[in-house]
Amino acid sequence: MKSFDIATILSLPELPQYLEQVEAQLQKVLTPDDPMMRTALQRMLRSGGKRLRAALVMAAGGQRKSGSQLVAAGAAVELLHLGSLIHDDIIDDALVRRGAPAVNAKEGTACAILSGDYALALACKEATEVSAAAGSLMAATIMTLCEGEAKELADVHRPDRSLASLDVAMHGKTAALMATACQLGGMVGGYDKPIIVALGTFGQHFGMAFQHADDLLDFISTAALLGKPVGNDVQEGVYTLPVIVALQGKYGNEVRQLLARKSLADSLPELRALLQRAGAFEQSLQVIRSHVAEAHNALSALTDARHLALADLPNAYIEWAMNNLVAPEYRATLQL
């Protein structure tokens, strides 16, 4: 499978070196005095991740970015992401994160809460290295993440979940942090407010496309292709875009009957077939591509070459994901 080369797409040959600096900063600051917290946080850090949000910071910084502040901003968004993942694992009672034991599973819930809080506090501290406004933005983003998670929990096992409600949750859980990464990059670059707002709008729509694509792949990919289990969300009562689209269509009653079964694991192939018959996968891809278009349009009037390259990233990512991560039996359905 061809890897997704974000440095080439963004015309940022210096991106790997920058991400190494961000990684070094994360290693430096994630060192609480408590040995259990330190072990847990360092394990989560070593488990990897694409560092996509830090890459967005650099690209949004454009041609006017500043070195030390750029590293601090990249570390801030990755720390926020890390803290939110640790807290998500507590809520989901997860056992594994990125192939490593989840903190709540290995060190316990109390350590996980404290470790997640520690990472979030560090995120705000790193952001203040950019400016007071950046620190305030980071704190506001944490609040939004909490609201998004709360909204998702309120809709668990609700077949009447609306697309509007889904968007609110997705904004809080994923898109808001990508928007913040882009805005922080703009702040580091010293751009005027209209450009920073445009970068935030781009990040918001890219985040929505990214999460919708992830949710779609949860139905039409495989564990081997994704490197993680598939079908977990719907089994836990989290109804994402393909399910909601099908619930609102002519096969809605059949979908409801399947979702009402006590054990959905054995019915996943039946559910996938029903969603496919309902056209839910194609409609979901249309929504994804509409967010891709909105993301591109948000930066179309900017003049910095780095920002114009950034505008092409969502489409490049979605096309890569659809061409490399979709199981063969669904490729004809999506006309790939």
pLDDT in tens, 16-61: 999 999 999 999 999 999 999 999 899 988 887 789 999 999 999 9
Amino acid letter, residue 332: A
Exposed, middle or buried: residue 75 (CB in 10 Å: 0-12, 13-18, 19+)? buried
- Please give the share of the chain, as a percent, with pLDDT higher than 70: 99
Helices within 174-312 (DSSP H only): 176-189, 193-220, 223-226, 232-235, 241-247, 252-259, 268-277, 280-299, 305-311
Q: And the tokens for 49?
A: 């991740």
Strand partners, 100: 97
**Would you say the C-alpha torsion 294, 298, 303, 306 has a positive or negative sign?**
negative
Q: Give 304-331 pLDDT, tens digit per residue.
A: 888 999 999 999 999 999 999 999 999 8
Percent of the chain that is helix, strand, coil (3-state, to 5): 75, 0, 25
* Count of C-beta atoms within a 10 Å radius of residue 130: 23
How high is the pLDDT of residue 76? 96
Calculate the average pLDDT of the chain: 92
Predicted confidence at residue 1, as pLDDT, reads: 67
List CB contacts of 90: < 8 A, sequence separation 6 or more. 104, 109, 112, 113, 116
> Structure pTM?
0.93
pLDDT for 203-260, tens place per residue?
999 999 999 999 999 999 998 888 788 888 999 899 999 999 999 999 999 999 999 8
Lowest mean per-residue pLDDT among 61-70, 109-118, 146-155, 307-316: 61-70
Q: Has residue 2 got a pLDDT over 80?
A: no
Q: For position 284, what pLDDT does the model report?
A: 97
pLDDT of residue 103: 86
What one-character DSSP code corresponds to residue 266? G
Tell me the mean pLDDT in the region 145-157: 93
The Cα 200–Cα 15 span in angstroms is 21
**What is residue 267's predicted lDDT score, i.e. its pLDDT?**
85
